[in-house]
Amino acid sequence: MSALLDQLRELDWRLDFDAGALSRGERYSREDRVRLLSLSDKGIETRCEGSGDHVYTQLVRLAPKGLGVVGRCSCPVGFNCKHCVAAILHLLDLPAEGWQVPEPPRERLVDDLLPQPHLILGSHAQSQYDLRSGRMVGSQQHRAGLLFDYDGARAHGKPLRPERLHHRHDGERLAIARQPKAEQVWRDALRQLGFKEALRQSLALPANSAEMFELPSDEHWLQFMREHLPRLREQGWQIDIRPGFQFDLSQVDGWYADVTEAPNREWFDLELGIVVEGRRISLLPVLLRLIQRNPELLDPQNLQRRKDDEQLRLQLDATRASDGRPLHVMLPFARLKPVLATLGDLYHHDEAPAQTLRLARPDAARLSQLDELDLSWQGGDDLRDLARKLRDAAQTRIRPPKGLNAELRHYQLEGVAWLQTLRDVGAGGILGDDMGLGKTLQTLTHLLLEKEAGRLDRPALVVMPTSLIPNWMDEAARFAPNLRVLALHGASRKKAFEHMAEHDLLLTTYALLPRDLEHFSALPLHLLILDEAQYIKNPGSKAAQAVRQLEARQRLCLTGTPLENHLGELWSLFHFLMPGWLGDSQSFLRNYRTPIERHGDATRLAHLNARLKPFLLRRSKEAVATELPAKSEITQWVELSDRQRDLYETVRLAMDSKVRDEIDRKGLARSQIVILEALLKLRQVCCDTRLIEERGPRPARGSTSGKLDSLMEMLEELIAEGRKVLLFSQFTSMLALIEDELRKRAIDYVQITGETRDRRTPVQRFQAGEVPLFLISLKAGGTGLNLTAADTVIHYDPWWNPAVERQATDRAYRIGQDKPVFVYRLISRGTVEEKIQQLQAQKATLARGILDGREDGDWRLREEDIDALFAPLPRRA
């Protein structure tokens, strides 16, 4: 008897094997799978039939110094495996004496059996760290495993020498010769389909389970599954598709969309899906779960990078009728992009998947993006028509009304067409063009079209800041004289309330509307328009609450700054225009403000912009530069503050008396110096009271300058638009006051005055784009500067000699300037500034000399001109 067997019987050898190996090894031993090949005092050699008709060889020996059992096996495990356990148990079952090594079992040799190809398909999802992005990046690996089936015995890989497969079939042991040439035929067939041997290991299929092949791209896998795999099946290939294989797909037979509109037309339900195996299956719950797991899919930049023929695999909420396995489809991004862009921003993470999506009526504007999908639509014809009208609004051709005294530029015609479309579909909107592009003119044109069409059977009301009342009166009289306009402003307005219904256009202010609300709330309106609509950016303000109580067929907002500080201001505007569309303030905070403002979520911002786009028309100066003149000159009217009005009247009375006394003594022609001195003081009051007030121990109450307040608002808006601004003033003391306000608001600037020694540095900084604002005293910077980086010029206290003012403007408007230049003149309404502007239009000689005491000027003032220049301020409410 072998000394090895004696030691095995005395040794607790089971401690060297894990429980799984012991359990399966005992089963193999009971099934008589082991055959003894050799036995000595040093070791035993056996052969064991494993799973899948594999036969492995074992060599078992004892470790030196009683350190246990060492079992080697030719199976993939290799060490102390279940086959070694079966070998030891088989030997221990032998009798103590009288046994011998059995002869190898007899096998029938099979030399002419041809193999059949067997293909196994599998996928594996993995994540790895991307050094470039600093993020974990997911990827998929796919493998095709090639096996050769010899009547139940399987083999893979190229044999290094003639090889037989040992196989038991119907109780008979077979030794089947592999056929390398026949195997190569099938291997070559895969290569002809684009497969190459996989050089890297993958968990897509178990290691050493097959000969591994791969394709170069997902598109090649899709083509293989769609075109070649059916032919392989016809040729007799056995195909085994493992669970999770990414390209185990069903065919998409069509796309559909169902729309169910609410009886009150305030909302609608949308179902969007595909037809697979004759069944309609909604995509919305599938896409929602996908978006919640992979929010980057909604990133517009990520979507843009996706090729149209790139595919996305989706598991549907349905199973195959044939085998009950989940249905999978591949959808091209050419179809998914419009769906995700249209609906993706309407999904929020706290929503549960549902077959349909409930949307507010204004969101129907997004349905036009689905037209390119060639959907089978059921219902929603009116909503789709609404969507198409909004999509094509700017391209709609309209004829200007007959009563319009103006020639509209192309972008203004597009703006009017957009306003008309909003009225046609029953929606409101924000006309948010840059300053100076004619928002008032476009609105007046819209009103004229409504009147000429017979729809202006109720008044239109415009609510605005007090300072804009004269602008609207002037422009309505100039461009739309057929409109019956009533300004409800001033102490006498109460007498006009009973006549409001007789007019086409009513004008009031944000300050007066809450006081007069009872009169307006009783009057049905055709249009309700808010000019400088940012005045209701605080939804709790009296003005915001008042305008929301008025009844109108259409609501519009006009503002160059629909958003100044935070998104809540934009919500307030749309809460007026379309109440409830963007949810309440808390849901808007949760879904948009917090992700965008706190977390910099560019995706949510892009989605919000896309949702608002049909109802917000904003054109920058660059966008319309081809139609604008090279230089646009704009008068910006401002109102004096109460403190300015008081001081202006005090100075005016004193100067009027002094001038008239001088004229009485010396005559008009010889009183020029006194007249200019008097006009200078009044101009300084228009700039800021501090220019002539004595500094007291305690500052007086109230604003020292309505013009300075307006300038600061204007600068913040222009700089937010990316403007580069030159600001001129004749008074360096005024520039110092402006500097103080800029520092309070942390607005960066450079400056040149008569005290500036280094003029090069501020010019270089401005031209390089380091600062958005250049303060310049007219005397120091009116000539000799090239500031073509500027696109906006502001004259704070306009220089009444047009030639000098034009020289200052030409610091920006000169050779090398490639942008349209906008020139603003700030004029205090009702003051000497307005009177001199009127005189400029009447007398060319006045423009060449007035207020410039160093120039002779060939102008002459008449007695009535003196009366106009020193006239009292008009009364206001």
Give the pLDDT confidence of 477-508 residue by residue, as tens digits.
Answer: 889 999 999 988 877 888 888 888 889 999 99
Q: Are 211 and 188 in contact (CB under 8 A)?
A: no
Say if CB 529 and CB 460 are below 8 A apart.
yes
193 CB-near residues (< 8 Å, 6+ apart): 224, 228
Whole-prediction pTM: 0.56
Token pair for 137:
């990046």
* CA-based radius of gyration for the chain: 44
Distance CA 768, CA 397 (A): 42
Q: Which of 431-435, 506-510, 530-534, 798-802 has the lowest mean pLDDT?
A: 798-802
Contacting residues for 428 by C-beta, under 8 A, at least 6 apart: 422, 554, 555, 556, 557, 577, 578, 615
CA dihedral sign of residues 497, 499, 502, 503: negative
Q: Is the pLDDT of residue 756 over 90?
A: no
Q: Could you tell me which residue, 807 or 215, shows the higher pLDDT?
A: 215
Contacts of 46 (CB under 8 A, 6+ apart): 34, 35, 36, 37, 57, 58, 60, 87, 90, 91
Give me the mean pLDDT over the 551-566 stretch: 80
Backbone angles phi, psi at 603, to 5 degrees: -65, -45
Higher local confidence (pLDDT), 302 or 774: 774
CB 475 within 8 A of CB 514: no
**Mean pLDDT, to the nearest integer, of 105-117?**
87
Could you tell me which residue, 592 or 408, shows the higher pLDDT? 408
Q: Which two tokens stand for residue 65?
A: 């110094």
Rounded to the nearest angstrom, the gap between the alpha carbon of residue 848 and the centroid of all alpha carbons in its chain is 53
Q: What is the pLDDT of residue 712?
A: 92
Closest CA to 115 of 158, 168, 76, 75: 158
Q: Distance between CA 819 and CA 788 in Å, rounded?
A: 9
Which pLDDT score, from 0 to 100, does residue 853 have?
A: 30
Q: Given the structure tokens 């840059």, which residue do they identify? A: 434
Written as six digits, the tokens of 373 are 């999908």
Give the other-Cβ count within 10 Å of 103's Cβ. 7
**At residue 171, does pLDDT exceed 80?**
no
Which pLDDT does position 137 carry in this prediction?
72
| Domains contained in the chain, CATH given | 3-104 (no CATH), 116-241 (no CATH), 252-386 (no CATH), 392-617 (3.40.50.10810), 638-869 (3.40.50.300)
**pLDDT at site 688:** 93
Q: Which two tokens stand for residue 152?
A: 């139940």
Given a contact cutoff of 8 angstroms between Cβ atoms, the answer to whether 509 and 473 are in contact is no
Q: How far is CA 661 from the centre of its chain?
A: 68
Cβ–Cβ under 8 Å, residues 318 and 250: no
* % residues pLDDT > 70 (the chain): 86
User: Quick check: helix, strand or coil at residue 572?
Assistant: helix
Instruction: Kindly tell me if the per-residue pLDDT of 211 is higher than 90.
Output: yes
Mean pLDDT for the stretch of residues 564-578:
79
pLDDT at 143 > cutoff 90: yes
Distance in angstroms (rounded) separating the CA atoms of residues 198 and 728: 73
Residue 817's pLDDT is 64
In this predicted structure, the answer to whether residue 300 has a pLDDT above a threshold of 70 is no
Beta bridge mates, 820: none
The residue ranking higher by pLDDT, 845 or 318, is: 318
How does 751-761 read in b/e, with b if 16+ C-beta sit within 10 Å?
bbbeeeeeeee
Sign of the alpha-carbon dihedral angle for 562, 567, 573, 577: positive
Residues 659, 675: contact at Cβ < 8 Å?
yes
Distance, in Å, from the CA atom of 26 to the CA atom of 868, rounded to the nearest integer, reads 119
Report whether pLDDT(345) > 60.
Answer: no
Predicted confidence (pLDDT) at residue 857 exceeds the cutoff of 70: no
Res 216 pLDDT > 90: yes
Mean pLDDT taken over the chain: 81
Copy the structure tokens of residue 711.
Answer: 């300038």
Run of H or E including 34: strand 34-39
Q: Are 421 and 389 in contact (CB under 8 A)?
A: yes
pLDDT at 5: 74
Confidence of residue 53 (pLDDT cuts 50, 70, 90): low
Segment 376-434, tens digit of pLDDT: 777 777 777 777 777 777 677 888 998 899 888 888 888 899 998 888 878 889 998 87
Q: How much is the pLDDT for 98?
A: 53
Q: Could you identify the residue written with the tokens 């051709």? A: 397
Q: What share of the chain has pLDDT > 90, as a percent?
A: 21
Residues 6+ apart with CB under 8 A from 683: 797, 832, 833, 851
Q: Is the pLDDT of residue 630 over 70?
A: no
Q: Which of 123, 146, 143 is nearest to 239 (CA)?
A: 146
Per-residue pLDDT tens digits for 814-839: 545 677 788 898 999 888 888 877 76
Q: Is the pLDDT of residue 309 over 60?
A: yes
Distance of CA 794 to the CA centre of its chain: 34
CB atoms within 10 A of CB 495: 8
Check if the beta carbon of residue 827 is closer than 8 Å to that of residue 637.
yes
- pLDDT of res. 499: 86
For residues 390 and 319, the answer to whether their CB atoms sit within 8 Å is no
Q: Please say if the pLDDT value at position 627 is more than 60.
A: no
Q: What is the pLDDT of residues 645-673, one digit of tens each?
A: 899 999 989 888 888 888 888 887 777 78
> What is the pLDDT at residue 99?
56
Nearest partner of 859 among 681, 711, 668, 708, judged by Cα? 668
DSSP assigned state of 115: P
Q: Residue 861 — pLDDT band, cuts 50, 70, 90? A: low
Q: What is the pLDDT of residue 289?
A: 79
